Structure 1
């Protein structure tokens, strides 16, 4: 049994009675609209078909994550102890200072999602590592719960055990565990603030996480980062003391608004609040990390196994800022390269030459050159067939490109967040879909 064979079985099942399953999809779609599956206050598009994974895939994600976080810890320690290594990141002095601050707990990356072009345990490429503002947990769980009760999956469950990856309750568990290890903890029952610049935040997900904290008996609330106060060693929001922060602010946004969040910064530096995650997460979140990992002097801090992992699975990445040779190469071999900003999220500013004619690509290249952009080789994403219904309920089977996001809490595997598209840039396009993720295992039949 493998994921591909389960996918083919699902497609044959839907094709056997399209109208039956189309009516079921419409029912689920209406249910989804009642749920809080929103991105920037807009409904998130999804399909009737989930993404299937096997226990072998999950074992692979455990192994990939273990190696990635071993590398991340070495990067963190090198940054903390080697001034020459810090210079590679080109951070402003105040951000470097914040990264050096002891967050008060051991784990460097409490929450993250690494995105992959994943074929198998030995054949995969990293797209990026997200730490600041890691999201997608809420929508995946909503769609997964709904699809698990779909007619098609009920039929498959006669022969397979099918489960989804619960991500919301699990994150609350892990974040509270991190808080309990905080060395300057003031109470066992913290007031919890989910903090972001609210115009940039995914408030639907914030609200769902807040509800879980409240259900557990904690005083939890959403807080606008600009409206915090810090006095006499206590950080507050509208008069309420804050003991624990679940930080959703992307560091790049914080840097651009640093003068507006002085109370938050001072409280963090003083150890007056447990902030999950700390500014150390920025080391792996910044897209520059892929370049740094491939630098010859960086490779010297890794073992042979770690070097092989980097060279085989991390795209070779270089700066596009001031390199005339790179400019000519990227311009004249447009189908071979991708350009992306050093620090962005949701695929903002990411472009590949395959999507443009030469004149359009030259305009993009000229605009990016000399700025904080990176270039990488274009990698063909893996594909999988998915069933789509037209407005009459007829079935189309379409090849979609896959971005498999692996969510980790306290550097351990937690679940998955898959997006698909017919475009080369998978997120942020009108044809992007969020696909629920299911673990499929064979049932043991009694003889």
Structure 2
């Protein structure tokens, strides 16, 4: 597996930067920018504070949502080529979900925890065997380098806040005229009613008619992130909404909420699922519709799905077009102890990132370049690391105000359509906003397709 330890080089006669250099306004400190840009940044941040955009954590803790001082747009050439690649990978992900129950090798490889797996296997309704909502996270500085590192199919963050931040920049003094001069259409997720409209259409496709309300489900005392804002938007569309735990929804007997949005981290779900018998039964029997059901969210959110695509042992799952897209945009990825050894990962430390299959908020992501050899050897050598994802490191560094930073590209998809873009910027290689990253507005340079 020596090829895993060697950074692959790609040449593309039509290579483009990910972000258009002429549409990339970013600064770490406002005093490095023009007065006009300072005013736009101040407007955006004041709007975020007024609207109470916050990060939420376990124990009912929260802090202000970290908004980056900057706005940018994708390079039009990159966006045009990227969109069909994203579509092919989305189709490949759906094939993993649909093949899971009949493929013993896939079941063993993914190793879904038993508490979840029993419901995944019961969630057999064909309409439920799909990923409805997901967020693809990508790293790379140019189109040829750009790689999808995670799929985020459980309850992706940013579906409301990212659209709000984009709109702030479109309405801010100075940046409003600047953005207008860039051209490109507003992303779907900038529309205030898009989530309610999309969820209602999802319910309709699942056979539910005359939706009266949408339940917003979350852990007691846990992460709720955007749910208060989503509740306001749903109610503004004339629908009822309530924030509940899954157990509360099952116990109310209120048939208003046959449609719900489940915002629940996988680790917390494993902890609480013993109380979800009635809730899960309602989902698998079609009496309650949630995004991605149970199978789509808990199969698709497993980070080993990236390794399934990369590992040639599973190439039979995909067609030629999907395999071509995988070879282009999925980084070389393997399962530790089943496709690559601990010895290899230890030996080529700087070439790898190691991740827990159901880690969240960057807590269980380990970048080899952040460790000395002794610490890396101890980390990877633990028996508990077996079964983790091992992924080729993807460069994403760039310079801001003379400092080295790291940056990703976020692509949000609903029912297979791209609904918007975003980015996290950080001085650390892990660009997670739950740690020290900040969210940056990313605009489309092309007309954005409507969800269907």
Q: State whether TM-score is above 0.5.
A: yes
* One of 356, 366, 375 as aligned partner of 2:371: 356
Tell me what 2:425 maps to. Answer: 420
Distance 1:256 1:16 in 2: 47
Tell me what 2:55 maps to. Answer: 39
Tell me what 2:138 maps to. Answer: 116
Distance 2:49 2:427 in 1: 24
Q: Which has the larger radius of gyration?
A: 1
Q: Does 1:292 align with 2:308?
A: yes
**Mapping of residues 263-278 of structure 1, within 5 Å:** 263-278=278-293
Q: Does 1:26 align with 2:31?
A: no
After alignment, is 157-166 or 135-144 more displaced? 157-166
Distance 2:241 2:24 in 1: 44
The CA RMSD measured in Å over matched residues stands at 3.1
Q: Does 1:222 align with 2:252?
A: no
**Mapping of residues 151-166 of structure 1, within 5 Å:** 151-157=173-179, 159-161=181-183, 164-166=186-188
Tell me what 1:338 maps to. Answer: 353
Distance 1:155 1:275 in 2: 40
Distance 1:9 1:218 in 2: 39
Q: Does 1:179 align with 2:194?
A: no
> Structure 1's 213 and 358: CA in aligned 2 closer, same or farther, altered over 3 A?
same
Distance 2:177 2:416 in 1: 35
* One of 59, 66, 73 as aligned partner of 2:87: 66
> Structure 1's 76 and 30: CA in aligned 2 closer, same or farther, altered over 3 A?
closer
Cα drift, residue 48 of structure 1: 2.9
Cα drift, residue 349 of structure 1: 1.0
Distance 1:318 1:166 in 2: 34
SS at match of 2:422: strand
8 Å contact kept, 1:110–1:175: no
After alignment, is 401-410 or 260-269 more displaced? 260-269
8 Å contact kept, 1:38–1:139: no
Cα drift, residue 229 of structure 1: 2.8
Cα drift, residue 212 of structure 1: 1.6
Deviations 1:117-157 (A, max 9, x none): 24455542111001111111222223222222334424525
**Mapping of residues 347-426 of structure 1, within 5 Å:** 347-367=362-382, 369-381=384-396, 383=398, 385-386=399-400, 396=401, 398-426=403-431
After alignment, is 245-254 or 368-377 more displaced? 368-377
Distance 2:81 2:196 in 1: 25
Tell me what 1:391 maps to. Answer: none
SS at match of 2:68: coil
Distance 1:332 1:10 in 2: 37
Tell me what 1:445 maps to. Answer: none
> Structure 1's 242 and 116: CA in aligned 2 closer, same or farther, altered over 3 A?
same
Q: Does 1:128 align with 2:150?
A: yes
Q: Does 1:279 align with 2:294?
A: yes
Q: Does 1:170 align with 2:194?
A: yes
Distance 2:167 2:430 in 1: 28
SS at match of 2:137: strand
Distance 1:90 1:28 in 2: 43
SS at match of 1:263: helix
Deviations 1:212-246 (A, max 9, x none): 2111111111111233335xxxxx36x56421121
SS at match of 2:155: coil
Distance 1:243 1:333 in 2: 51
* One of 258, 264, 282 as aligned partner of 2:273: 258
> Structure 1's 402 and 371: CA in aligned 2 closer, same or farther, altered over 3 A?
same
Distance 1:17 1:255 in 2: 47
After alignment, is 286-295 or 146-155 more displaced? 146-155
Distance 2:76 2:422 in 1: 16
> Structure 1's 219 and 362: CA in aligned 2 closer, same or farther, altered over 3 A?
same
8 Å contact kept, 2:397–2:404: no
8 Å contact kept, 1:321–1:371: yes
Tell me what 2:233 maps to. Answer: 212
> Structure 1's 362 and 52: CA in aligned 2 closer, same or farther, altered over 3 A?
same
After alignment, is 414-423 or 45-54 more displaced? 45-54
Give the unaligned 5+ runs of structure 2.
1-15, 57-61, 448-452
* One of 438, 442, 446 as aligned partner of 1:437: 442
Deviations 1:56-110 (A, max 9, x none): 4433342122101221232223224334433332235553342242457367111
Deviations 1:351-371 (A, max 9, x none): 112112223323322446554
Cα drift, residue 291 of structure 1: 2.0
> Structure 1's 226 and 278: CA in aligned 2 closer, same or farther, altered over 3 A?
same
Give the total of aligned pairs.
Answer: 420
Distance 2:329 2:446 in 1: 28
Distance 1:304 1:270 in 2: 35
After alignment, is 125-134 or 21-30 more displaced? 21-30
With the length of structure 2 as denominator, give the TM-score of the two structures: 0.82
8 Å contact kept, 1:251–1:279: no
